[in-house]
């Protein structure tokens, strides 16, 4: 058989699945039937230029969801459009906006996208449509990258202003007087990718939108709002919470889709007794190779930056050996520079790029066209994200393929053994809480800065007088003679609050080979830096290896030179946790459950050098970097007197094993990404003076996971016990309590005993049995 | 299950607030005039009532002669025929965003040899609309604003306040911001161009008991809390002094900077700044005149700190301006002169010499010699650890090209190589 022979997608899939090693890994193979287009004629009121523009792009009729959106907006509703990737969602807002401008050139619109990349993308497609309609519409992106000269122009003349919530919060709203033309004439607010506005970020964005609407009211405009969301469990609730107004849901997708094959693969265990399973990379690599060789456009999603780089290296290596199109396979992730990303996106659309290996950076609606195959190396952590990533493949007429390769982790194994979970349960609900006191207070401050509050006003449905009184005590606002609350401080409140809980600072990675003009090759965020770009680390970028020669922590710069070595490096983090304040505590079986604020300090201590293929340890080195502190919320379980009789080493393995199981079940219960929760087990907590397992929110400030775990403690413990009991391994494996520990392989048994006690079961007999 | 709610620190404080029954209704708005009258007394002003509120206005007229016509020759945007209006704000912060309140506006309008100063002071947040409307009446539509950093701060902030209250800002004919002017003229020897530094060094103003600018916002908040009118007197005095300094600075420009007869006594560095002003406004002939005056200034005979570098830069600027004016042979002589003097400026100078010899004199050999001189200078600079990147990159292209041309020409017409 020739290695590189163009073949149809389905034929390629069948050949791939027929391989014996692959066949035994198949746990699910479903075919979603072809769906024809459902269309409706363009509304009669639509401007003739727009109709012509649509015709010139080959659009004679609208999809039903587009027509429905147009009519709903015409009737004065706010709407939320919920349809999959590439279903022509942007027409749902671009058309009404252009129609508004056609009817009244003074009309303006504000587009909000969660990332800068999406802003550029959507602006380009909006301009194309406007140009096709031969309409002269001033549209521009206003974000941190916008040059000063253009800013003034966008402020005064931009009919369509494209920005992100962060920019709106810190640059536009506080300076609203410079934007008065926009606010006076605002007709539409477009909130795209609304499903990304969840958790603390979403709670912030909801308040930013309230501030926006408050200013519109001041300037006398009444904009309508168009939200767009990927498929989530509760689009209406999300949109309504986000904007604080009722919305009409438009979710009957009229876009056609070709037949789609969805395959779930679970790599068979290498050692059943120890429960050792291979990671997802091997099978993912194999699948990707099959499609790339057949000349099918393929996207591979890795779960981490390192995973992406390893996959990319592997694919290029394999393609090189077979003289295949190795340069047509690219990497794509957060650390790449914007220009590099734009080039890759364009290459995907034009077909020049055959394959791309990406982190979830490509999950959002960045336009890369439609691909033949999507391969997920590991479960992305949520059902919604899984469908989004799988949605990257899918042609209008031809068949397409999506393959999920389960990893060795517990959550992955849960999905692999219960594939119906993917197909039958509804996607996660996006939750946000605009009335979160900390968030709300921050925005009351910012809003008071923008405009005085009247007595009896409210923000996000919460009366503000109490909060303002509180702020007045702190000296931020004052009640003036006219009974209004005015900002009365030198501070600039919007700059004190970052909407995204992640650190705003990045470490820039600089290749010094080209001195005196060193080249910036990428960046990593500050929390990731200690484990990625410490001195002597091997940093992977576009599958090239770079040696980190020097890390200037103060300047946030890492200096690297390209190298070619046969190892990679992995850093070890030492994590300590200190509770700061308990929000709530309650007795539980065999102990106590609680949640509250904690300080998690992590310090990268040493790194290991591991050989590329075999992962064997080649040596180690020390990392000298300052400790990073994470102020967040945690849920914890303190063990009661029942455990006083346990030996310290027993407790040690039991706690960390039970902790692992709790962590796994927690992320399934909360439908959060497993990385969103960190775990620390303390045999003797210096604060509680007893054994404690902490599960903490791994983003600063927390997104409310801890409180929900606290409420669902019983379910959580029962689930963890179930997980350990159901696992087929004998002495502990990565899928339950973690790999077999040194101490005699009794880790699993101790952890099980501990969980049984916590679940209120009879631990005594079990104890006797072990003893 | 028995849940013990502990609550957050913030939550507890809010709860306490709620239970104490403190609510805005409990503190009824106070009558407006209660604040204005004591304030007027404390600063020696009067209360001006307006349907939108009350404002305290302090007026003063002072003798301050100025020969406005002389300003016309300066390379700065000003129309001496327009009424000159000095403006300075005292505010509650440094951002020009919506939450910054200008609570004191000083307006100084020249009427012949007199400066009429009006200071508008805000008794309360709620009186701002009145202040803005009264301010509008003080600003003539054909007026020319004179400010210190007013292009970036004072005027945009005032505009923002009018916009916030949904009013159009007052119109004016033009705006001269003296901060960039002062920076260009004096920063080189003062180390900075803050008004406090400039007024002292240039206008000889000595302030006593001045309230430092950074304390002003808190002073106003303190007044709003305590309503002790006397607290604001130093702020009013600070603002008055700012306006007076602004006016004096304008007088200095008219009397000491603009007239050519004053240049001989001026600091050559100041003149360099003035020349740059002319050059930037595309007035190279005047720039050259100032540079030549600077090179002939009295200061050189007294010895000047850091004079060698300044002299070199002035000479280079002179050569450059000669080139811009099309006086190419004079420019060439000037460059050759600088090149012959050696030192770090010689690298660029040799390049200019090379350019002239190659393109005007058609003397490839001579150009090559000049390039080699430039290379020597660049190599020496690199050895000193201060590489001349611009010279090096220019040479990277120029040297090989000249070598090629020299090589091509030689066998063709060896006899006429040096004939231009």
In angstroms, rounded to a whole number, what is the distance separating the alpha carbons of residues B9 and B21?
Answer: 19
Q: Measuring CA to CA, which residue among A640, A631, A637 is closest to residue A694? A: A637
Could you give the C-alpha distances from A357 to A336, A543, A546, A637, in angstroms and in order?
A: 12, 11, 19, 40
> Which structure tokens are listed for B137?
């009446």
| pLDDT beyond 50 at B420 | no
In angstroms, rounded to a whole number, what is the distance separating the alpha carbons of residues B180 and B195?
Answer: 11
Contact A482/B at CB under 8 A: yes
Nearest CB to B99: which of A449, A465, A468? A449
Q: What percent of chain A has pLDDT over 70?
A: 90
| pLDDT beyond 70 at A571 | yes
In angstroms, rounded to a whole number, what is the distance separating the alpha carbons of residues A538 and A549?
Answer: 10
Are A55 and A41 in contact, with CB atoms under 8 Å apart? no
Q: Do A480 and B22 touch (CB under 8 A)?
A: no
Helix (H, G, I), strand (E, B) or coil at A316: helix
Confidence of residue B199 (pLDDT cuts 50, 70, 90): very high
Q: For B300-319, write each residue's pLDDT tens digit.
A: 888 777 788 899 899 999 99
Nearest CB to A174: which of B97, B156, B389? B97
Among A287-296, A568-577, A743-752, the range with the most confident prediction by mean pLDDT is: A287-296
Q: Do A437 and B29 touch (CB under 8 A)?
A: no
The H-or-E segment that residue A511 falls in is strand A506-511
Q: For A257-281, write each residue's pLDDT tens digit.
A: 889 999 999 988 776 655 567 788 8
In angstroms, rounded to a whole number, what is the distance separating the alpha carbons of residues A196 and A199?
Answer: 9
Strand order in the sheet with A260-265: A26-32, A260-265, A400-405, A373-377, A298-301, A355-358, A329-332
E runs forming strands in A303-440: 329-332, 355-358, 373-377, 400-405
In the prediction, which pLDDT does B154 show? 96
Q: For B95-130, write each residue's pLDDT tens digit.
A: 889 999 999 999 999 988 899 999 999 999 999 999
Beta-bridged to residue B63, according to DSSP, are: B114
| pLDDT beyond 70 at B29 | no
Confidence of residue B22 (pLDDT cuts 50, 70, 90): very low
Are A416 and A181 in contact, with CB atoms under 8 Å apart? no
Q: Measuring CA to CA, which residue among A219, A356, A236 is closest to residue A299? A: A356
Test the A interface: residue of B17, B55, B97, B214 with most A CBs within 10 Å? B97
More confident residue, A565 or A524: A565
| pLDDT beyond 50 at B6 | no
DSSP B253: I
* Lowest-confidence region among A688-692, B22-26, B61-65: B22-26
In the prediction, which pLDDT does A115 show? 79
DSSP B30: P
Q: For B78-94, write each residue's pLDDT tens digit.
A: 998 999 999 999 999 98
Q: Do B126 and A455 touch (CB under 8 A)?
A: no
User: Span A335-364, mean pLDDT?
Assistant: 82
In angstroms, rounded to a whole number, what is the distance separating the alpha carbons of residues A594 and A168?
Answer: 37
In the prediction, which pLDDT does A429 show? 66
More confident residue, A32 or A322: A32
Among A6-15, A400-409, A679-688, B218-227, the range with the most confident prediction by mean pLDDT is: B218-227
Q: Do A490 and B31 touch (CB under 8 A)?
A: no
In the prediction, which pLDDT does A739 show? 58
Contact A490/B at CB under 8 A: yes
Q: For B254-264, write each residue's pLDDT tens digit.
A: 999 999 999 99
In the prediction, which pLDDT does A68 show? 96
Nearest CB to B10: which of A437, A455, A468? A437
* A495 → chain B, closest CA residue: B95
Diameter of chain B measured on Cα atoms: 110
Length of chain A in terms of residues written = 771
Q: Do B96 and A451 touch (CB under 8 A)?
A: no
Handedness of CA B377, B378, B379, B383 (dihedral sign): positive
User: Span A330-356, mean pLDDT?
Assistant: 83
Contact A760/B at CB under 8 A: no
* B5 → chain A, closest CA residue: A584
Q: Dihedral angle at the C-alpha atoms of A467, A469, A474, A480, nearest 10 degrees? A: 130
- Identify all chain A residues contacting B28, using CB atoms and an 8 Å cutoff: 483
* Lowest-confidence region among A282-296, A495-509, B249-263: A495-509
Q: Count how many Cα atoms sit within 13 Å of the Cα of residue A572 in the half-sphere of its side chain.
A: 10
Distance separating the N- and C-terminal Cα atoms of chain B: 104
| pLDDT beyond 60 at A502 | no
Long-range contacts of B12-18 (CB under 8 A, 24+ apart): B13/A470, B14/A437, B14/A466, B14/A467, B14/A470, B17/A466, B17/A469, B17/A470, B17/A473, B18/A466
Q: For B321-364, write each residue's pLDDT tens digit.
A: 999 999 999 999 999 999 998 877 899 999 999 999 999 999 99
* Residue in the block written with tokens 């539980």: A588
Nearest CB to A469: which of B4, B17, B32? B17
Contact A516/B at CB under 8 A: yes
- Identify all chain A residues contacting B30, using CB atoms and an 8 Å cutoff: 481
In the prediction, which pLDDT does B165 show? 96
Q: Do B163 and A178 touch (CB under 8 A)?
A: yes
Q: Measuring CA to CA, which residue among A695, A725, A686 is closest to residue A713? A: A695
In the prediction, which pLDDT does B253 show? 95
* A491 → chain B, closest CA residue: B93
Confidence of residue A767 (pLDDT cuts 50, 70, 90): very low
Q: Do A583 and B124 touch (CB under 8 A)?
A: no
Which pTM does this prediction carry? 0.78
| pLDDT beyond 80 at A765 | no
Chain A segment 571-590 residues within 8 A of B by beta carbon are: 581-587
In angstroms, rounded to a whole number, what is the distance separating the alpha carbons of residues B70 and B67?
Answer: 6
ipTM: 0.84
- Identify all chain B residues contacting A480, using CB atoms and an 8 Å cutoff: 29, 124-126
Q: For B139-156, write each residue's pLDDT tens digit.
A: 999 999 999 999 999 999
| pLDDT beyond 50 at A706 | yes
Confidence of residue A387 (pLDDT cuts 50, 70, 90): confident
Q: For A590-609, write each residue's pLDDT tens digit.
A: 899 999 888 888 888 889 88
Q: What is the CA radius of gyration of chain B?
A: 31
CB atoms within 10 A of CB A687: 13
Test the A interface: residue of B8, B15, B34, B98 with most A CBs within 10 Å? B98
In the prediction, which pLDDT does A13 show? 94
Mean of all residue pLDDT scores within chain A: 85
Q: Do A478 and B1 touch (CB under 8 A)?
A: no
DSSP A43: P
Chain A segment 594-613 residues within 8 A of B by beta carbon are: 596-597
In angstroms, rounded to a whole number, what is the distance separating the alpha carbons of residues A738 and A663?
Answer: 11
Are A355 and A342 in contact, with CB atoms under 8 Å apart? no
Contact A455/B at CB under 8 A: yes
In the prediction, which pLDDT does A272 show? 63
In the prediction, which pLDDT does A614 show? 64
Nearest CB to A175: which of B25, B93, B97? B97
Q: How far is A631 from chain B (nearest CA, A)?
A: 14
Q: For A215-260, write each residue's pLDDT tens digit.
A: 999 999 999 999 998 887 788 988 999 999 999 999 998 988 889 9
Buried residues in A40-78 as b, exposed as e (16+ CB within 10 A): bebeeebbebbbebbeeeebeebbbbbbbbbbbbeeebb
**Using omega within 30 degrees of 0 as the cis cutoff, is the peptide bond preceding A516 cis?**
yes
Nearest CB to A492: which of B14, B97, B163? B97
In angstroms, rounded to a whole number, what is the distance separating the alpha carbons of residues A714 and A709?
Answer: 9
In the prediction, which pLDDT does B16 show? 56
Among A316-325, A351-360, A435-444, B247-256, the range with the most confident prediction by mean pLDDT is: B247-256
Confidence of residue B54 (pLDDT cuts 50, 70, 90): very high
Count how many pairs of residues, chain A against chain B, have C-beta atoms within 8 Å.
134
Nearest CB to B125: which of A219, A480, A489? A480
In the prediction, which pLDDT does A321 show? 77
Nearest CB to A481: which of B94, B126, B160? B126
User: Span A397-416, mean pLDDT?
Assistant: 84
Q: Do B24 and A174 touch (CB under 8 A)?
A: no
In the prediction, which pLDDT does B248 show? 93
In the prediction, which pLDDT does A673 show? 58
In angstroms, rounded to a whole number, what is the distance separating the alpha carbons of residues A65 and A83?
Answer: 8
| pLDDT beyond 60 at A762 | no
């Amino acid at each position: 058989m020739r290695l590189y022979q163009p073949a149809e997608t389905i034929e390629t899939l069948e050949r791939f699945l027929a391989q014996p090693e692959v066949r035994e890994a198949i746990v699910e193979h479903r075919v979603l039937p072809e769906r024809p287009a459902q269309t409706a004629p363009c509304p009669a009121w639509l401007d003739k230029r727009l109709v012509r523009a649509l015709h010139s792009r080959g659009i004679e009729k609208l999809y039903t969801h587009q027509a429905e959106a147009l009519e709903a907006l015409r009737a004065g509703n706010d709407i939320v459009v919920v349809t999959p990737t590439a279903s022509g969602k942007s027409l749902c807002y671009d058309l009404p906006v252009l129609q508004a401008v056609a009817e009244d050139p003074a009309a303006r619109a504000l587009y909000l996208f969660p990332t800068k990349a999406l802003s550029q993308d959507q602006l380009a497609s909006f301009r194309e449509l406007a140009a096709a309609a031969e309409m002269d519409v001033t549209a521009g992106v206003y974000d941190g990258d916008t040059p000063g000269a253009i800013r003034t122009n966008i402020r005064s003349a931009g009919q369509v202003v494209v920005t992100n919530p962060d920019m709106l919060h810190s640059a536009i709203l506080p300076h609203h007087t410079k934007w008065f033309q926009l606010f006076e004439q605002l007709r539409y607010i477009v909130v795209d990718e609304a499903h990304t506005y969840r958790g603390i970020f979403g709670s912030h964005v909801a308040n930013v939108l309230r501030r926006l609407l408050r200013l519109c009211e001041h300037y006398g405009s009444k904009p309508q709002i168009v939200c767009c969301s990927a498929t989530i469990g509760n689009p209406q609730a999300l949109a309504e919470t986000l904007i604080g107004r009722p919305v009409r849901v438009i979710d009957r997708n009229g876009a056609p889709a070709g037949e789609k094959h969805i395959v779930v693969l679970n790599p068979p265990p290498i050692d059943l007794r120890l429960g050792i399973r291979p990671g997802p990379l091997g099978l993912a690599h194999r699948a990707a190779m099959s499609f790339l060789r057949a000349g099918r456009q393929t996207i591979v999603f890795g779960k981490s930056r390192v995973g992406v780089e390893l996959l990319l290296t592997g694919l290029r290596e394999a393609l090189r050996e077979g003289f295949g199109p190795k340069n047509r396979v690219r990497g794509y992730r957060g650390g790449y520079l914007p220009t590099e990303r734009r080039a890759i996106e364009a290459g995907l659309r034009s077909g020049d790029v055959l394959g791309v290996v990406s982190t979830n950076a490509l999950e959002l609606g960045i336009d890369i066209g439609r691909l033949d195959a999507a391969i997920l190396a590991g479960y992305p952590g949520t059902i919604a994200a899984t469908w989004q990533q799988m949605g990257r493949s899918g042609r209008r007429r031809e068949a397409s393929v999506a393959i999920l390769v389960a990893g060795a982790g517990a959550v992955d194994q849960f999905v692999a053994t219960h594939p119906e979970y993917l197909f039958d349960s509804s996607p996660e609900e996006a939750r946000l809480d605009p009335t979160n006191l900390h968030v709300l207070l921050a925005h009351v401050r910012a809003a008071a800065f923008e405009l005085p509050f009247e007595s009896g006003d409210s923000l996000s449905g919460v009366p503000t007088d109490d909060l303002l009184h509180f702020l007045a005590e702190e000296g931020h606002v004052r009640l003036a003679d006219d009974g209004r609350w005015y900002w009365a401080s030198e501070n600039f409140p919007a700059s004190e609050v970052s909407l995204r809980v992640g650190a705003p600072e990045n470490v820039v990675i600089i290749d010094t080979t080209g001195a005196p003009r060193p080249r910036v090759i990428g960046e990593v965020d500050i929390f990731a830096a200690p484990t990625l770009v410490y001195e002597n680390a091997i940093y992977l970028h576009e599958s090239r290896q770079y040696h980190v020669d020097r890390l200037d922590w103060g300047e946030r710069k890492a200096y690297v030179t390209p190298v070619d070595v046969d190892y990679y490096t992995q850093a070890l983090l030492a994590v300590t946790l200190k509770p700061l304040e308990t929000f709530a505590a309650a007795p539980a079986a065999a102990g106590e459950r609680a949640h509250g604020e904690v300080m998690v300090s992590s310090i990268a201590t040493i790194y290991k050098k591991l050989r590329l293929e075999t992962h064997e340890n080649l040596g180690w080195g020390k990392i000298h970097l300052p400790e990073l502190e994470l102020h967040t919320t945690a849920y914890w379980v303190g063990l009661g007197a029942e455990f006083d009789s346990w030996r310290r080493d027993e407790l040690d393995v039991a706690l960390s094993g039970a902790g692992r199981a709790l962590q796994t079940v927690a992320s399934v219960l909360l439908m959060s990404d497993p990385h969103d929760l960190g775990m620390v087990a303390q045999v003797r907590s210096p604060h509680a003076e007893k054994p404690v397992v902490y599960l903490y929110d791994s983003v600063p400030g927390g997104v409310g996971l801890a409180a929900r775990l606290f409420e669902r403690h019983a379910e959580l413990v029962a689930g963890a016990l179930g997980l350990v009991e159901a696992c087929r391994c004998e002495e502990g494996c990565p899928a339950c309590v973690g790999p077999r520990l040194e101490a005699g392989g009794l880790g699993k048994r101790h952890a099980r005993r501990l969980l049984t006690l916590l679940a209120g079961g009879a631990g005594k007999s079990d104890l006797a049995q072990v003893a | 299950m028995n849940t013990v709610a502990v609550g957050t620190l913030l939550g507890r404080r809010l709860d306490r607030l709620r239970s104490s029954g403190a609510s805005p209704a409990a503190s009824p708005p106070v009558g407006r005039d209660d604040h204005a009258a004591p304030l007027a007394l404390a600063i020696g002003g009067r209360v001006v009532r307006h349907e939108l509120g009350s404002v305290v206005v302090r007026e003063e007229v002072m003798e301050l002669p100025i020969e406005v016509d002389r300003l016309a020759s300066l390379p700065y945007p000003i129309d001496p025929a327009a009424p000159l209006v000095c403006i300075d704000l005292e505010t509650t912060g440094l951002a020009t965003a919506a939450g910054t309140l200008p609570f004191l506006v000083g307006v100084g309008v020249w009427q012949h040899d007199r400066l009429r100063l009006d200071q508008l002071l805000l008794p309360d947040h709620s009186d701002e609309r009145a202040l803005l409307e009264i301010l509008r009446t003080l600003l003539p539509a054909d007026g020319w604003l004179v400010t210190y950093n007013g292009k970036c701060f004072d005027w945009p902030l005032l505009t923002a306040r009018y916009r916030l209250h949904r009013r159009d800002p007052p119109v004016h004919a033009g705006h001269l911001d003296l901060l960039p002017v002062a920076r260009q003229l004096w920063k080189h020897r003062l180390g900075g161009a803050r008004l406090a530094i400039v007024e002292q060094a240039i206008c000889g103003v000595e302030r006593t008991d001045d309230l430092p600018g950074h304390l002003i916002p808190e002073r106003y908040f303190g007044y709003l809390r305590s309503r002790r009118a006397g607290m604001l007197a130093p702020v009013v005095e600070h603002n008055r002094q700012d306006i007076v300094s602004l006016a004096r600075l304008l007088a200095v420009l008219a009397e000491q900077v603009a007239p050519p007869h004053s240049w001989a006594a001026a600091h050559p560095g100041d003149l360099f700044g003035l020349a740059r002003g002319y050059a930037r406004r595309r007035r190279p002939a005047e720039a050259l005149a100032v540079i030549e005056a600077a090179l002939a200034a009295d200061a050189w005979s007294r010895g000047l700190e850091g004079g060698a570098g300044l002299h070199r830069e002035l000479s280079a600027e002179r050569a450059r301006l000669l080139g811009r004016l099309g006086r190419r042979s004079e420019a060439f002589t000037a460059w050759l002169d600088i090149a012959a003097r050696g030192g770090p400026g010689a690298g660029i100078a040799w390049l200019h010499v090379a350019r002239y010899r190659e393109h005007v004199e058609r003397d490839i050999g001579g150009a090559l010699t000049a390039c080699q001189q430039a290379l020597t200078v660049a190599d020496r600079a690199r050895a000193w650890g201060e590489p001349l990147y611009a010279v090096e990159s220019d040479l990277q292209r120029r040297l090989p090209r000249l070598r090629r041309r020299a090589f091509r020409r030689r066998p063709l017409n060896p006899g006429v190589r040096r004939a231009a």
